[in-house]
Amino acid sequence: MINKLGILDANTKNERLRKDIFKNSKEFFSNLKLNSIFIHCIVLLLSRATVMENLTPFGIAFMTAYISKFSAMLSIPLMASIGVISVHGIKSIPYLGTIWFIFATYKVTRKKFENNTIKFALFGVATFIITKSIYILITDYFLYDILVTIFEGIITFTLTYIFSYSISTIKNEYNRVFTNEEIICGAIMLALAISGFNNLSLYGASIKNIVGVVLVILFSYNKGTSVGTTVGITVGVVTAMSNNNLPFVISVYGFGGLVSGLFKDLGKIGSSLGFFIGASIMSFYINGSLESVLKIKETLIGLIIFLLLSKILKAFNSKIIIGVSKSTQIEEAYSNRLKDITHKRLTEISQVFNELSATFQKASDKNVLVEQKDISKFVDTVVNDVCSNCSLCNFCWKADFYITYQDMFDIMNHIELKGNIDIRSLPQNFKKRCTKPDLIANKCNNLFETYKLNYKWENKILESRQLVSQQLEGVSKIIKDLANQIDNDVRFKQDVEGTIYTGLRNLGIDVLEVIVTETDDDDFEIFLDISSTCDRNKIKKISSIVSDLIGIELTSDKFYSNVNYEEEITKLKLVKGNRFGAITKVSRLDEGFNHVSGDSYTFGERQNNYFVALSDGMGMGYKANQESNITISLLEKFLEAGFDKEVALKTINSILVLKSTDEMLATIDMSILDLYRGKTQFIKIGSAPTFIKRKDRVDVINSHSLPVGILKDVDFQVYEEDLDDGDFIITMSDGILDANEFTDDKEKWMSDIILDIDTLNPQKMADKILDAAIDISESSKRDDMTVLVTKIWKRV
């Protein structure tokens, strides 16, 4: 407890001390993980592994790689020393001297060698060669021994670099699937460790062979045929370097790993039987016996150990073979849960916007009609303001109520039809009875003008509500689409990630991260994080390099990729390359004041789509330019924001209707090309026909809808056509067709012109179409003319 002075009493201090000791003890034992024990076993076995005439450079190489990559733990050189002493005894002095000198040097000069494996490896090799050379000169001196020492130093340097890769496969450093290079280096390390058993046997069965069998099957079962075969060959090479039957050992282990990997889909038992069958077939081929390199009991013991060990590895969620840690699985579970929560919340928000849209739609569906209450209010206002002070009020509105009311109704009917009323137009009976006809006429006219103004603004409010309803509906659809994208089953292609990562690294590209995602509709995306210190020319070639690595043409998504060399990381997004290419050329004639065209256009590419849009404003000059420019700008923004085409067009129409009291009209002619599938959608609203020039004909896409900005509800038509290599899409404003006043079939006239144009250049085709329209038109009657020619070609 804490007293008033804020000082802990003795009991509380002791209790906290016990908790701290328990906590520290728990952390200590939790840090004693399986991979730490495994690393120390590897150090011991590698230090015992020999090659040629009892050369043992492997322990020094592993210790050097581990210290330079991680830290100088005292237990690592200690285990290496034990392993060397168990092989050489008193003759292990040069090895021991090298081990402890390297360890002590790193402790003193850590900053010089930290995270620099090559530099530290050279230092280790130099230390070893000098130490062992001094030892040889002191004892028995032979030139052969000096040469062998240099050879042993070269082995140490090479293996230090290999071990720097292999340590990552057993050290809890990464939560990812390892590259093939890391796996192969790990297999070399384990194969050399197996050699550390030397000639140890158990009841006539070689421990080295048993462990080799287990290792090959583990890799084959978890990583497949290619890795299993590679590991089998590696184990065969390393474990049989001191034997004369090296080719036979390689064949047995390699073929056994191949068949084991082929049988992996049958489970652990199937993979085990696959290795036994493969090893037996190769042994029988070598000398006609099932036992040549491996004894049957060695193989069977290895299979049993594999079946038991695979359960242990699964229980510990080991990263040694599987490559996925428990923390990764937990993160994946959290990620899936977060995805579900996000999808649910977005769906709920989408429903809210949908309900709001429906509410505004119901409010906007109200028909503004003259109701009975409006007539009553009109009459009451006249009575209160004019008739209430008249001496004949009781006579008119009580004794002759129905007659007076009918006269007022006739007056309202006259105002509605004529727009105004004067004394002469009042009913005759009404004028004879009424003493204030002029005041009645003026009051009725004023009330009707006020009513008309209110009626107009009520209509404006209803149209605004309809616009809001459409906007809310569009937002609802966007949120719903986003929720569906989040909930979409996205698969991460780890094998492809490893291939890309390794390929880019081998080419000297400093890639930091590779993520490959694939969805149910076979669309995939590749996200790359590249260090901006990488050569710029190499970064520009990444799309083609990755395309060659995976065998699929890719292109960079310009809207996502961020190639900024001033930042530390360059982010790239690669998507499927388009099967078709498209390019648009323009030719135009501006007839407006100061050469301001009433035609506006845009075209461009977004992911796998290419769009072309043309809008023709009403008339010519600045006003027409403003109308078409607003239409095109809004259309671009809505589509980029993810709005549905129908919602976007309805919204643009509503904006043009509400924007001004003046009439604002504009046509829309839009083509959306799917460059991957080779299909095109044509959306036409009041626009001129679109022509598609094929190899042997010209197709016409026509519409009969009104331009946007006229009616409250937009009417548009959508057409879909397949495209082929060499097709041309010709989009034009109505000024081109209206130029010819001498024919009734203007579409036939233009089709003949397009068919007769013999060129593959879209710019020349656009220029010739415009020239033909100019030649046949009268200059005084010309409208703005714009031609967009889009050429489509199939990529090789």
Domain co-membership, 276 together with 397: no
In 3D space, the residue among 693, 682, 783 whose CA is nearest the CA of residue 736 turns out to be 783
For the cut 60, the answer to whether the pLDDT of residue 716 exceeds it is yes
For the cut 50, the answer to whether the pLDDT of residue 328 exceeds it is no
* Average confidence (pLDDT) over 302-318: 66
Using pLDDT thresholds of 50, 70 and 90, give the confidence band for residue 751. Answer: very high
Average pLDDT, the chain: 75
For the cut 70, the answer to whether the pLDDT of residue 243 exceeds it is no
* Average confidence (pLDDT) over 149-155: 80
Q: Do residues 215 and 231 touch, judged by C-beta distance below 8 A?
A: yes
CATH number at residue 725: 3.60.40.10
Give the model's pLDDT for residue 561.
59
Domain co-membership, 570 together with 593: no
Local structure of 67: helix, strand or coil: helix
Strands 569-576 and 554-556: antiparallel
Domain co-membership, 320 together with 409: no
Which of 549, 576, 603 is where one domain is finished? 576
For the cut 80, the answer to whether the pLDDT of residue 545 exceeds it is yes
For the cut 90, the answer to whether the pLDDT of residue 265 exceeds it is no
Burial string for 418-430 (b: 16+ CB within 10 Å, else e) reads: eeebeeeebbeeb
Using pLDDT thresholds of 50, 70 and 90, give the confidence band for residue 3. Answer: very low
Give the model's pLDDT for residue 31.
42
Give the model's pLDDT for residue 767.
93
Summarize pLDDT for 480-539 with one digit per residue, the tens.
777 776 766 667 777 788 888 888 888 888 888 888 887 766 677 888 888 877 777 877
With respect to residue 178, please indicate whether it lies within any of the assigned structural domains: no
Domain co-membership, 543 together with 617: no
* Average confidence (pLDDT) over 340-346: 74
Check residues 332 and 722 and name the one with the higher pLDDT: 722
Give the model's pLDDT for residue 428.
79
CATH number at residue 267: 1.10.1760
Q: Do residues 347 and 480 touch, judged by C-beta distance below 8 A?
A: yes
* Average confidence (pLDDT) over 132-141: 74
Give the model's pLDDT for residue 732.
92
With respect to residue 8, please indicate whether it lies within any of the assigned structural domains: no
Q: How far apart are CA 111 and CA 122, in angstroms?
A: 16
**Cβ atoms within 10 Å, residue 567:** 10
Domain co-membership, 91 together with 80: yes
* Average confidence (pLDDT) over 543-561: 77
* Average confidence (pLDDT) over 343-361: 74
Domain co-membership, 163 together with 304: no
For residue 413, the enclosing domain spans 333-488
With respect to residue 2, please indicate whether it lies within any of the assigned structural domains: no
Which percentage of the chain shows pLDDT scores above 70?
Answer: 76
Using pLDDT thresholds of 50, 70 and 90, give the confidence band for residue 787. Answer: very high
Give the model's pLDDT for residue 112.
64
Check residues 525 and 467 and name the one with the higher pLDDT: 525
Using pLDDT thresholds of 50, 70 and 90, give the confidence band for residue 316. Answer: very low
For the cut 70, the answer to whether the pLDDT of residue 336 exceeds it is no
Give the model's pLDDT for residue 707.
60
Domain co-membership, 258 together with 387: no
Domain co-membership, 508 together with 569: yes
- Global pTM value: 0.48
- Residues 353-359: contacts with CB under 8 Å, at least 24 apart: 353/472, 353/473, 353/475, 353/476, 353/479, 354/472, 354/473, 354/476, 356/472, 357/469, 357/470, 357/472, 357/473, 357/476, 358/469, 359/469
Number of domains in the chain: 5
Strands 201-202 and 679-685: unpaired
Domain co-membership, 192 together with 157: no
Domain co-membership, 596 together with 567: no
With respect to residue 6, please indicate whether it lies within any of the assigned structural domains: no
Give the model's pLDDT for residue 591.
64
Using pLDDT thresholds of 50, 70 and 90, give the confidence band for residue 347. Answer: confident
Domain co-membership, 206 together with 168: no
With respect to residue 729, please indicate whether it lies within any of the assigned structural domains: yes
Based on C-alpha coordinates, what's the Rg of the chain?
43
In 3D space, the residue among 607, 612, 736, 578 whose CA is nearest the CA of residue 682 turns out to be 612
Using pLDDT thresholds of 50, 70 and 90, give the confidence band for residue 6. Answer: very low
DSSP 533: T
Domain co-membership, 388 together with 502: no
With respect to residue 655, please indicate whether it lies within any of the assigned structural domains: yes
Which of 272, 305, 324 is where one domain is finished? 324
Which percentage of the chain shows pLDDT scores above 90?
Answer: 6
3-state secondary structure 114-165: CCCHHHHHHHHHHHHHHHHHHHHHHCCCCHHHHHHHHHHHHHHHHHHHHHHH
Which of 541, 576, 611 is where one domain is finished? 576
With respect to residue 22, please indicate whether it lies within any of the assigned structural domains: yes
Summarize pLDDT for 424-456 with one digit per residue, the tens.
888 877 777 787 888 888 888 888 888 888 877
**Cβ atoms within 10 Å, residue 157:** 19
Summarize pLDDT for 163-203 with one digit per residue, the tens.
777 776 665 444 445 666 677 777 778 778 877 777 777 77
With respect to residue 469, please indicate whether it lies within any of the assigned structural domains: yes
